[in-house]
Structure 1
Amino acid sequence: MSLRVACVAAALACLLSSCAGRSQMEASNGGTLVSSFAPAQAAKPLSKTNADSPVPLTPVAWGRLGNPGSLAGRTLTVNSISDIALNDKEVVLTFDDGPMPHKTERILSILDQFGVKATFLMVGQMAKAHPELARKVVAEGHSIGSHTYRHPNLAHLSFEAAIEDIQKGRDAVASATHESVGFFRFPYLADTHRLRQWVASNGMVVLDVQIDSKDYFGVSPAAVATRTVSALRAHRRGIILMHDIHNRTVAMLPALLTQLKADGYKVVHIRRSGSGGSSAPLLVASLDNDRSDK
């Protein structure tokens, strides 16, 4: 065995043992224990009947031990809905609800190891509480957006109360990062036509979701990774929803990105053109949106 192969094997063993350790931790909190990934199989799209079945994850070299940057795809400057049209096997990585100390930093480190960029939809309260961490996200080249100020279900609020929370959240993220806020996601994907129309006059791209990792459920990191890969193999492209506030997300992310690389996917980095504010039009990023609770 060559030294390079030995190093790769050691790195993979470390990754899988880390995920297994996380699985034990999640199981103690009521999650389902999945100690390791299934043996490698050829990647192929799943039918609707088996889309929720466990998906084998192929063990391959990851990050800079493999082919650095090979997972990174295009950078799209978003001016209109047509600009975010994704090709087959292209994905956009998004993280909601942060920034969260000790978790967001680790996610940033993993993304850097794979040479890919993501979009972080920050809750205003979190950005205000951790401005240095919010600025670190920007400094490392990732895109930012807002996710309201306190993460309410806006569809259950009066129109005026919903707008107040959206505005407050955007302002808090902008203040913390010293950047204009180019993207927005509705908590729980709970919107109304009137709210979207309001956002339309305030210059933020509304990001919907095609691939939901469901990392907010109390399951093992391995279960999150297999579920996400399963959904992606069915859709073959789309915006992936994750959260940078969960240990299980941190634990499963290297395995997920490893599998995306093995399956030939590319991570597209979306950037908002121009500045945030009332002068820019609404851009709704939606690809055959499969709406569920986030």
Structure 2
Amino acid sequence: MSRIALLSSVVLALALCGCQTTKQPAPDKTIKTSSIKTEESTAGFPKPANLAFGETHHLAGRVLTVSSLKDLKLEPKEVVLSFDDGPIPGRTDRVLATLDRFGVKGAFMMVGEMAALHPELARRVAMEGNTIGSHTYKHPNLNTLSFDQAIAEITRGEAAVTKATGTDVNFFRFPYLADSRKLRSAVAAREMIVMDVDVDTKDYFSSTPEQVADRAMNRLRQRGRGIILMHDIHKRTAAMLPALLARLEAEGYKVVTLKFKRDDKPVVMASL
């Protein structure tokens, strides 16, 4: 990676550290330069062995094929592992290695600018069988933009992730979960399914990896199932993921892999 590209990645990752999943209007992002340090992974992103000697896992669940949001129904003890804001070297590849070790897949909601900066890593995420979604191009609060500006941001992000990964993008998550009925309908019209959140790990807080895993499990036990939100740009997330997956497995949860299938029914746009 060139020095200029690395610097751009650091600046963008710093900004994304302000990402908080909330329905409230997003505050101005306060950047703490000490809160994140970009790490380069080894060239070529070598794939680790799937299992350590003698290690077996039973965490992988079913493949759920969906055409619309109404199809995304999880059974008790089923979860979807979702990761926002990447990809970024040194973090996303560690997440991928952990998913591979446990034999499960995740849903990666990529920021278009990050995918454009790291296309090799973005493509690797897709090639390893993970679900690919977009998270806009620059991660703005879409409710602070005009409708046309919001659609332009969604479209640009989708195009950037599609180009970087070499695959269709059929899932979308609103930054800050700041949505509207009209925007959700517009996303559906683009043949993308909105990824909502059931369990927010709040891994963007200044917590230890153990605290993040505890928070996730406590919330999950209350709900019994759901889509888990994490961010693959955070070092603490990559560090805590093996423990979280081990705890999910020990408590009998199964990780569902999402696949998209087109619905032939026409999409009706919602009115204001």
User: What TM bracket, shorter-length normalisation?
Assistant: 0.7 to 0.9
Report the Cα offset of residue 171 of structure 1. Answer: 0.3
SS in 1 for 2:168: coil
Identity of aligned residues (%): 56
Question: Of the candidates 102, 105, 110, which is equivalent to residue 93 of structure 2?
Answer: 105
Report the Cα offset of residue 68 of structure 1. Answer: 2.6
Q: Which letter does structure 1 place at the counterpart of 2:197? A: V
Question: What do residues 20-59 of structure 1 show as CA deviations (whole Å, max 9, x unaligned)?
Answer: xxxxxxxxx79xxxxxxxxxxxxxxxxxxxxxxxxxxxxx
Larger radius of gyration: 1
Matching residue of 1:86: 74
CA contact under 8 A between 1:77 and 1:271: conserved in structure 2?
yes
CA contact under 8 A between 2:69 and 2:194: conserved in structure 1?
no
Q: Which letter does structure 2 place at the counterpart of 1:222? A: E
Matching residue of 1:217: 205
C-alpha distance in 1 between matches for 2:58 and 2:113: 36
Matching residue of 1:160: 148
For residues 51-200 of structure 1, what are the structure 2 equivalents within 5 Å?
A: 68-200=56-188
Question: What do residues 98-131 of structure 1 show as CA deviations (whole Å, max 9, x unaligned)?
Answer: 0011110010000000000010000000000000
Report the Cα offset of residue 65 of structure 1. Answer: 6.0
Question: Of the candidates 236, 241, 253, which is equivalent to residue 248 of structure 1?
Answer: 236
SS in 2 for 1:76: strand
CA contact under 8 A between 1:68 and 1:115: conserved in structure 2?
no
Q: Summarize the Cα distance change of 1:66–1:77 in structure 2 as closer, same or farther, 3 Å threshold.
A: farther
C-alpha distance in 2 between matches for 1:137 and 1:72: 17
Q: Establish whether residue 235 from structure 1 lines up as the match of residue 203 from structure 2.
A: no
Runs of 4+ residues over 3 Å off in structure 1:
63-67, 279-282
Question: What do residues 239-265 of structure 1 show as CA deviations (whole Å, max 9, x unaligned)?
Answer: 000000000001100000000001000
CA contact under 8 A between 2:137 and 2:153: conserved in structure 1?
yes
Q: Establish whether residue 261 from structure 1 lines up as the match of residue 249 from structure 2.
A: yes
Q: Summarize the Cα distance change of 1:102–1:81 in structure 2 as closer, same or farther, 3 Å threshold.
A: same
Q: Which letter does structure 1 place at the counterpart of 2:195? A: L
C-alpha distance in 1 between matches for 2:222 and 2:70: 22
In structure 2, stretches of 5+ residues that fail to align are 1-33, 36-50
Question: What do residues 170-215 of structure 1 show as CA deviations (whole Å, max 9, x unaligned)?
Answer: 0000011111101000000000111112112110000000000000
Matching residue of 2:193: 205
In structure 1, stretches of 5+ residues that fail to align are 1-28, 31-62, 283-294
C-alpha distance in 1 between matches for 2:202 and 2:60: 24
C-alpha distance in 2 between matches for 1:192 and 1:68: 44
Report the Cα offset of residue 281 of structure 1. Answer: 4.7
C-alpha distance in 2 between matches for 1:168 and 1:112: 30
TM-score for the superposition, normalised by structure 2: 0.77
For residues 17-32 of structure 1, what are the structure 2 equivalents within 5 Å?
A: none
SS in 1 for 2:230: strand
C-alpha distance in 1 between matches for 2:53 and 2:83: 25
Report the Cα offset of residue 234 of structure 1. Answer: 0.5
CA contact under 8 A between 2:78 and 2:254: conserved in structure 1?
yes
SS in 2 for 1:100: coil
